[in-house]
Amino acid sequence: MLSKDKKKVQTTRAWTGLLVVVVGDVGVALAATLVALHVTDDAQAVAVLTSAFTAITAISTAYFGIRAAANAAQSAVDAAGEGQKDAASAGADAPQTIKGPGSPK
């Protein structure tokens, strides 16, 4: 398990990343809207808005994909650590025999 300080750092990183994504998405949407309102040709406005939608989708998908992968990796590391602790405690109960070359069988 993560210590209290590490959990706090992970929580802060997650919220900060989400804030950056939201601010970036809002910035792209605002810029695209302003450009679309000042363009005289409808086809150009549609092109700008479509590009903005694609950018927002890419930014958001990348963030959530990276977060999901990071969470899965952290869970795997935590599970491996717990498995090593369990194996170490089980090994401590077992009698220790060391066999090497020339040892009786």
Residues 32 and 51: beta-carbon distance below 8 Å: yes
The tens place of each residue's pLDDT in the chain, 105 residues long, gives 567 888 898 889 889 999 999 999 999 999 999 999 999 999 999 999 999 999 999 999 999 999 999 888 888 888 887 777 666 666 555 555 666 676 665
DSSP string, the chain: ---HHHHHHHHHHHHHHHHHHHHHHHHHHHHHHHHHHH-S-HHHHHHHHHHHHHHHHHHHHHHHHHHHHHHHHHHHHHHHHHHHHHHHHHHHHSPP----TT---
Residues 47 and 34: beta-carbon distance below 8 Å: no
pLDDT of residue 57: 96
- Alpha-carbon distance of 16 to 67, in angstroms, equals 12
